[in-house]
Amino acid sequence: MDLKNIPHTLPRFSATFDPHTLAEIRRAAATGIYDIRGGGTKRKLPHFDDLLFLGASVSRYPLEGYREKCATDVWLGTRFAKKPIHLKIPVTIAGMSFGALSGQAKEALGRGASLAGTSTTTGDGGMTSEERGQSQTLVYQYLPSRYGMNPDDLRKADAIEVVIGQGAKPGGGGMLLGQKISDRVAQMRNLPMGIDQRSACRHPDWTGPDDLEIKIEELREITDWEKPIYVKVGATRPYYDVALAVKSGADVVVLDGMQGGTAATQDVFIEHVGIPILAAIRPAVQALQDLGMHRKVQLIVSGGIRNGADVAKALALGADAVAIGTAALVALGDNDPALEAEYQALGSTAGAYDDWQEGRDPAGITTQDPVLAARLDPVAAGRRLANYLAVLTLEAQTIARACGKSHLHNLEPEDLVALTMEAAAMARVPLAGTDWVPGNPQGF
């Protein structure tokens, strides 16, 4: 045999031990610490892209594109609050902490949301004057850490959101690494400067739904029953969590899927805990319907909302509104290719930069460095966010009109089909071209 001419097999990468996995093993071996990063799940998951709208046909007729009205407003907190919130659009800005974000970024979110007629939400770390000053409707988060929590800010808020979990890390607490604990952040959180701040994963003064009910009552008593009270949960067991939130007296439930962004969490947590928002909405809506509370207790969903189609699909599955985090940051200027050279210098690339915990964000958004933060012009960035919110709304209206709906809330599961069996099972809509919905619709 001619040994020289034996064909070689091509080098082949393992699908199991792919280059990313190998790099992570080497990184872990070198450092002894898990990978911490910002952002949401990066692997592909069943998502809204796996659903399609049917649009009008012979059996249903559409609304005229630019003439016939398709309303977009939403009321939140109509169950118990004396002063429920009325938003022009069903897209809210999710809670993102000052500390994770710069003061300028918080201000820009407030400006953009106010222009668009929607709300912003504080975060772990308390309320800043920048955000309260610019945000017409501000939701104040009540988190396990209670950093910066105080009754004056509580009374200044338009709504209160009791955070039990987030989609990126259901069951996990917060973390803000020393690099981002500036003087101001340390002072607001009552911590020494420069330490790695751990925030608790459980509330310090209540456990379980019976206590939560009493806690919500306390918050209502303190604020004289004026403000809507939201309860935010990460998507894990949505049927039961939503039912218990309703039982505990919530006005609004916020349900955050595993794609939801975070400021800083272990990668293993982001990628492996929780369920995609697509799988969580129907059980949540079912819980509301079983309790006779659908549309009475409003449902806000989040986790990977990017465009008006996502908004329309979430609403069609039964949500009252959506919340956006990551997309809002991108609209402000996060991961902008114009900053490519600087992302390269940080060992990343525009579109993939997620080391938000380090506080070196060249876009000036996820940082506490005053020089970097000053790069973000809150007025211009707020304008970009308002434009983006307008596009989300117009896109959702376009789809709704095509389905013959005069309000985004009239979209319904019957307007949808699924491209994959997974999506059909999760969203409980038929596989496209069939009348087959996998699974037992009753069996959560």
Partner 1 sequence: MPVVNLAETAKRELNAQLHALSVDTNETHWRVENPQGQHALAAGLNVPVTVEIAGHAGYYCAGMNSQATVVIEGNAGVGVAENMMSGKVHVKGDASQSAGATAHGGLLVIDGDASARCGISMKGIDIVVKGSIGPMSAFMAQSGTLVVLGDAGDALGDSIYEARLFVRGEVKSLGADCVEKEMRAEHRDLLHKLLEAAGADAGVDEFRRYGSARGLYNFHVDNASAY
Query: What separation in angstroms does the CA of 434 have from each of 399, 413, 430?
Result: 22, 15, 6
Choice between 172 and 283, CB closer to ligand FMN: 172
Using CA atoms of 146, 102, 255, 269 in order, give the dihedral in degrees to the nearest 10.
-90
Residues 23-42 that bind partner 1 (CB under 8 A): 31-33
Is 305 near ligand FMN (CB under 6 A)? yes
The span from the CA of 112 to the CA of 167, in Å, is 24
Choice between 54 and 149, CB closer to partner 1: 149
Question: Which two three-digit tokens encode residue 320?
Answer: 């009252």
The one-letter amino acid code at 247 reads: K
Residues 84-143 that bind ligand FMN (CB under 6 A): 94-97, 100-101, 123-124, 141
Sign of torsion over alpha carbons 15, 20, 25, 26: positive
Is 278 near ligand FMN (CB under 6 A)? no
Residue 304 CB partners (closer than 8 Å, separation 6+): 40, 41, 45, 47, 48, 257, 259, 260, 276, 277, 310, 326
| Helices 238-247 and 208-222, axial angle in degrees (round to 10) | 50
Q: How far is the CB of 208 from partner 1 (least distance, A)?
A: 12
Q: 180 contacts which partner out of partner 1, ligand FMN, none, CB within 5 to 8 A by kind?
A: none
Choice between 97 and 118, CB closer to ligand FMN: 97
- Candidate list 22, 200, 379, 380; residue touching partner 1; CB under 8 A: 200
Is 326 near ligand FMN (CB under 6 A)? yes
Question: Which two three-digit tokens encode residue 339?
Answer: 């900053």
Q: 204 contacts which partner out of ligand FMN, partner 1, none, CB within 5 to 8 A by kind?
A: partner 1
The one-letter amino acid code at 318 reads: G
Q: How far is the CB of 221 from ligand FMN (least distance, A)?
A: 24
Choice between 227 and 405, CB closer to partner 1: 227
DSSP label of 6 = P
The residue assigned the tokens 């938003």 is 87
Choice between 168 and 243, CB closer to ligand FMN: 168
Residues in the site for ligand FMN, rule: CB under 6 A?
38, 40, 94-97, 100-101, 123-124, 141, 163, 166-167, 232, 256, 259-263, 302-305, 323-327, 366
Residues in the site for partner 1, rule: CB under 8 A?
31-33, 145-146, 149-152, 154, 178, 189-192, 194-196, 198, 200, 204-206, 211, 214-215, 217-218, 221-225
